[in-house]
Structure 1
């Protein structure tokens, strides 16, 4: 059964002055690098002082990844083509190469100052080609790709597509469960229709479901929302690598791009904290996220989830590990959604159960039924105090996936030479905002996903 990619509405888009930056960033001589507004908002250099994703493998299940692109040389492993056409690095669509560049692109030229740079430039990319056109995915094939990625040691799996057939009893769902059981962080987008309903596979239990924000750091109008949204990340007017274009680059908007940035953030955390489980990595992403000045009444929010990613905070904030299964674990005889995002201890639900059993037994021996009632009341208070305020990351609702529109060529500049940019051109400060004001994205936010 075929399905559609949760891709990007791609094209050449004019950059605006909507960014809430401290001031215009220093201009470079590279046209493509100057269009990467996310670099300044997230402050890549500050993040890289903590982690660059070294030693981590991110599987990109997509249209393949062209490892010959100058911004990806040396980053792309052999991978697997589950479509049967042959080569996982033969990307005739460009989408997979684009996602890989946002995750692990290293740029090129002098001091790597040209081209696209990813958020985790030292992570490795394991390409899984599951589509040739971006629309001809098959559930059994991408499921095979996910299992291959797990068996090859992938730490993070990026799924920038939607699959209406990936219901809980499908092969795709079984493959996702296989990945989660083997301690892999799996990330997918919510959908590009601007409607209520998170798409599959992002909707499946344990998945990190990602929505997109624009340059004003507001939820993108086409980003699907509703129960099940986990995080939000930049996904509008995103410059990325694309060897199907004459310039080698394209620009687009969609939850696909946001998904790639969340996958990259997970790679950064896994590199710095190799002892954390996949669930505990997700816990750091959630606990460090921000709502900025949004007046969020309930967490997770149906648009932002637990908030917008803050990679630097995810790497540096003092966040207890939390339960091994993480905040997105589903209720079962051995786990509970109560040990989710807001849990600040390392005790598991089973440990709480042991305490309950021990205390109950002691009271029954000492004081009979009356004493048992008292202690059970105390236990109830203890357990209640350990509960988190969030709910599971999965949710209900579905949406209709949309096709990408292709990636029109960038200006015919080639890989190496780009038009010079006037000094301090960058992204102007919005009218009425003082250049001295701090970047709200990097501030301690008034609301956090905790």
Structure 2
């Protein structure tokens, strides 16, 4: 069940990954870049700010450059489970579906909007694509700034890699003034679609790095990464990938962009797992590696764990588990999680019994793309669906970043400190699930 229930990359115990045979990351710190100007090497991404280029060519040609390099790696995205039953309207003082948004209710988001709705801020969504034409996102998505970082030709501003990115964007910025749909945490922020997934394809590590650098260069206040990989080896190429990623995250921080990442959905203790064992290269034999979770454990990145209730509007008398209780799938670990935020939980025993168990997930915007047999994009169907995962928890924080940044033109370290200092202490559960505590946007904007 968990393999289809949770948003994020590599749900389960191993990363689904494939090394590219013709795309490579090249460290240019000690390289004369004019040496790359040759017909047998194509530059895919040129990232001088972090001394990196991404190229396409044969490994022998790349090796002849005489610089450190590593093959690009692609990771799969396990999309979250959604409940496809029609969403019934509910009576509410805000948007028609607000009564179903336990996540915004527990964060007192409407009260925070009395101070700010995120005006004058920008949030990059590094994901499967954001549907700019969704009725609840038309006001927010900047299509001119949006970019496609993949090899396909679909462009940006659409759900070409699936609905995951649109679900994330709705959590951040769904319109609270159009008398339809749901409420986003920062509905006045500007959303930039940074698409790194293609239809039925994998996300390239290099494309994610390029999207981080771009988010910094356009002055995004936050860049949301509801994606990740675990376990990633700290040895061999893993050291190279970690070095490249830390350069990118440090650069983003210096430019004023706070990176927010999903902690992952493996129910893993990131602090104490040490060596992780499994058949990581599919050769039929097991091996053990010193592991790390990326990008949430990279430098200057805010790692978000997920919480959620059991029994919201379907339990007999009261919640079986509170809104702040850790979700059964969330990664955790002292010094590995910075804050906890609503990501949704589920009573797996209730699935299929006829009760509305899905209401413990997070309701947000979706756009279902359709393609012709030859791969031509035709259209998208817009709506609202429930999903769960640390993928849904991270954008709660990215939206809160926009709220705080709209009131205080502060550097990302100060914005992060504000969110962590105002987070609620949850005494009933282990601090390893929360870091500084449970996200409290209202307290953050009131500080």
- Secondary structure at the residue paired with 1:261? helix
Q: Which whole-Å CA distance do the structure 2 matches of 1:162 and 1:3 have between them?
A: 8
Which residue of the partner structure matches residue 273 of structure 1?
Answer: 408
Greater CA deviation, 279-288 or 181-190? 181-190
Which residue of the partner structure matches residue 302 of structure 2?
Answer: 208
Q: What do the CA deviations read for 1:43-72 (whole angstroms, capped 9, x no partner)?
A: 222100111111110000001111100000
Structure in which a larger fraction of residues adopt strand = 2
The gaps in structure 1 that reach 5 residues or longer are 16-24, 318-450
Q: Which whole-Å CA distance do the structure 2 matches of 1:76 and 1:202 have between them?
A: 25
The answer to whether 1:117 aligns with 2:183 is: yes
Which residue of the partner structure matches residue 191 of structure 1?
Answer: 264
Q: Which whole-Å CA distance do the structure 2 matches of 1:47 and 1:28 have between them?
A: 15
Q: What do the CA deviations read for 1:417-445 (whole angstroms, capped 9, x no partner)?
A: xxxxxxxxxxxxxxxxxxxxxxxxxxxxx
Which residue of the partner structure matches residue 167 of structure 2?
Answer: 98
Q: Which whole-Å CA distance do the structure 2 matches of 1:185 and 1:271 have between them?
A: 14
Q: Summarize the Cα distance change of 1:278–1:168 in structure 2 as closer, same or farther, 3 Å threshold.
A: farther
The answer to whether 1:219 aligns with 2:326 is: yes
Q: How does 1:34-113 map to 2 (within 5 A)?
A: 34-78=99-143, 79-86=146-153, 87-92=155-160, 93-107=162-176, 111-113=177-179
Which residue of the partner structure matches residue 259 of structure 1?
Answer: 394
The answer to whether 1:240 aligns with 2:364 is: yes
Q: Is the 8 A contact 1:102 1:257 kept in 2?
A: yes
Q: How far off is 1:84 after superposition?
A: 2.8
Q: Is the 8 A contact 1:60 1:125 kept in 2?
A: yes
Q: Is the 8 A contact 1:168 1:204 kept in 2?
A: no
Q: What do the CA deviations read for 1:346-383 (whole angstroms, capped 9, x no partner)?
A: xxxxxxxxxxxxxxxxxxxxxxxxxxxxxxxxxxxxxx
TM-score (norm 2): 0.63
Q: Summarize the Cα distance change of 1:303–1:134 in structure 2 as closer, same or farther, 3 Å threshold.
A: farther
The gaps in structure 2 that reach 5 residues or longer are 1-72, 271-291, 310-321, 345-360, 369-379
Q: How far off is 1:102 after superposition?
A: 0.7
Q: What do the CA deviations read for 1:9-39 (whole angstroms, capped 9, x no partner)?
A: 4335999xxxxxxxxx964697643321223
The answer to whether 1:149 aligns with 2:218 is: no
The answer to whether 1:230 aligns with 2:338 is: yes
Which residue of the partner structure matches residue 421 of structure 2?
Answer: 287
Q: Which whole-Å CA distance do the structure 2 matches of 1:29 and 1:158 have between them?
A: 26
The answer to whether 1:126 aligns with 2:250 is: no
Q: Which whole-Å CA distance do the structure 1 matches of 2:140 and 2:95 have between them?
A: 22
Q: Is the 8 A contact 2:306 2:326 kept in 1?
A: yes
Q: Which whole-Å CA distance do the structure 1 matches of 2:94 and 2:396 have between them?
A: 25
Which residue of the partner structure matches residue 442 of structure 2?
Answer: 312
Which residue of the partner structure matches residue 29 of structure 2?
Answer: none
Q: Which whole-Å CA distance do the structure 2 matches of 1:185 and 1:6 have between them?
A: 25
Q: Which whole-Å CA distance do the structure 2 matches of 1:46 and 1:117 have between them?
A: 12
Q: Is the 8 A contact 2:220 2:256 kept in 1?
A: no
Q: Is the 8 A contact 1:80 1:129 kept in 2?
A: yes
Q: Which whole-Å CA distance do the structure 1 matches of 2:111 and 2:387 have between them?
A: 26
Q: Is the 8 A contact 1:5 1:134 kept in 2?
A: no
- Secondary structure at the residue paired with 2:432? coil
- Secondary structure at the residue paired with 2:392? helix
Q: Is the 8 A contact 1:57 1:156 kept in 2?
A: yes
Q: Is the 8 A contact 1:211 1:223 kept in 2?
A: yes
Q: Which whole-Å CA distance do the structure 2 matches of 1:190 and 1:95 have between them?
A: 16
Q: Which whole-Å CA distance do the structure 2 matches of 1:221 and 1:205 have between them?
A: 26
Q: Which whole-Å CA distance do the structure 2 matches of 1:288 and 1:6 have between them?
A: 33
